[in-house]
Amino acid sequence: MALVTWNNKYSVGVEALDNHHKTLIGYLNELHAVMMRGQGESIAGPLLSNLKGYTREHFPVEESILASVNFPKLAQHREYHRDLIERLEEFDLRHENGDHTMYPPFLLFLRDWQICHLLEQDREYIPYLAMKKNN
């Protein structure tokens, strides 16, 4: 069973960004499934690495789009993204050091961050995207 199921309340109205967000939720669900099967120790590392790589691809795309619509909170939004990357690095370091107790808190952190980010911070830029689309 998925930890988070995509639905339209997460949509920002831009297909490319929605697809990126769906992929990020997919990583979260995959990590959850791995942990539920008791395979966290062997598979979580590569999943975490893939997640870090994908965020580093997604965030610049999103930030570029936000810059193109003159989103006034772009600097703050970039900071949210940097914070997540820092946290991912922290969890990755814990994993590399053999701290397998990090999986449940990591999973909960990632779920909460993604949902909060999609439903709060990303929602703030939707009107700016809509204005650009209508012009």
Condensed to tens digits (0 to 9), the pLDDT of residues 70-118 reads 999 999 999 999 999 999 999 889 988 988 788 888 889 999 999 999 9
User: pTM above 0.85?
Assistant: yes
Phi, psi of 94 (to 5 degrees): -60, -40
Place of tokens 């199921």: 5
Q: Convert the pLDDT of each residue in 35-49 to its tens digit.
A: 888 877 777 788 888
Q: Do the Cβ atoms of 32 and 1 come closer than 8 Å? A: no
DSSP secondary structure of the chain: --SS---GGG--S-HHHHHHHHHHHHHHHHHHHHHHTT-HHHHHHHHHHHHHHHHHHHHHHHHHHHHHTT-TTHHHHHHHHHHHHHHHHHHHHHHHTT-GGGHHHHHHHHHHHHHHIIIIIGGGGHHHHHHHHH-
Superfamily of domain 13-134 in CATH is Hemerythrin-like (1.20.120.50)
CA atoms within 13 A on the CB side of 133: 10
